[in-house]
Amino acid sequence: MRLVALLLLIGCTPPLPVATEADAARAGVELAQLNAGRDLLVKKCSSCHDTPTPGQRSARDWPRQVGEMQQRSGIDAAQRALIEQFLVVMAAR
Whether the pLDDT of residue 5 is over 50: the answer is no
Portion of the chain with pLDDT greater than 90, in percent: 75
DSSP 45: I
- Is residue 49 situated within a structural domain? yes
CB 16 within 8 A of CB 53: yes
- Is residue 12 situated within a structural domain? no
- Is residue 5 situated within a structural domain? no
Mean pLDDT, to the nearest integer, of 8-13? 54
Question: Residue 58 sits in which domain range?
Answer: 17-91
- Is residue 30 situated within a structural domain? yes
- Is residue 66 situated within a structural domain? yes
Name the domain count of the chain.
Answer: 1
- The whole-angstrom separation of Cα 55 and Cα 45 is 16
C-alpha closest to that of 83 among 16, 28, 26: 16
| pTM of the predicted protein model | 0.84
Whether the pLDDT of residue 7 is over 50: the answer is no
- Is residue 10 situated within a structural domain? no
Rounded to an integer, what is the distance from CA 16 to the centroid of its chain?
7
Q: Give the pLDDT of residue 2.
A: 58
Other beta carbons within 10 Å of 81: 16
Residue-level length of the chain:
93
CB 90 within 8 A of CB 26: no
Mean pLDDT, to the nearest integer, of 61-74? 94
